[in-house]
Amino acid sequence: MHGAAAPKRRGALGLGLLLAAFTGIAIWQVTLIPEPPGYTPVGATAMPAAVAAVLAVLVLAYLVASWRGRSPDALHDEVEGPLPGRVARSAWMVAGLAALVLLTPGFGIGAAGVPAFALIARAFDSRRWLRDLLIGLAVSGALWLLFQQLLGLQLGPFVHWPG
């Protein structure tokens, strides 16, 4: 690659390597999940391992595309470009993920997913808080039912009060 194309490829490769590092951490963390005693049709590591495997394949595909200089980048697209307010968007996204992590131990995974969904929706410009909370409740409830009731994973109650 010559001229202006080289920095594009270097940035994409750097991002790909960062994603690969995060994927490596995810895979390592999956290996630390303890298996429940006794027989369960779907172990506690099944879904996280599947997600980590899919992520690894996607990261590898991104790295190959970056190496070949074909990775998409909205910053350098002549027609499209990044949306304004990237710092605020990132802050809303981080707030949503932080809400999920910080609220789960005290209130349960189901309850923590509701405000996390609304905060992440705000990162994508939604300003309809009540609608987003209701959608978050529906999505979080459906996922909790899927994993807790149908797959038999022990997530705990949908909501539990600290104390």
pLDDT mean by block of 10 residues, the chain; 163 residues: 55 88 92 77 79 95 88 67 82 94 88 94 94 95 85 76 67
| Long-range Cβ contacts of 103-109 (<8 Å, 24+ apart) | 106/162, 107/159, 107/160, 107/161, 107/162, 108/155, 108/156, 108/157, 108/158, 108/159, 108/160, 109/140, 109/144, 109/155, 109/156, 109/158
Rounded to the nearest 5°, which phi and psi values hold at 92? -65, -40
What pLDDT was estimated at residue 3? 47
What pLDDT was estimated at residue 1? 45
What pLDDT was estimated at residue 86? 84
What pLDDT was estimated at residue 33? 82
Q: Are 63 and 20 in contact (CB under 8 A)?
A: yes
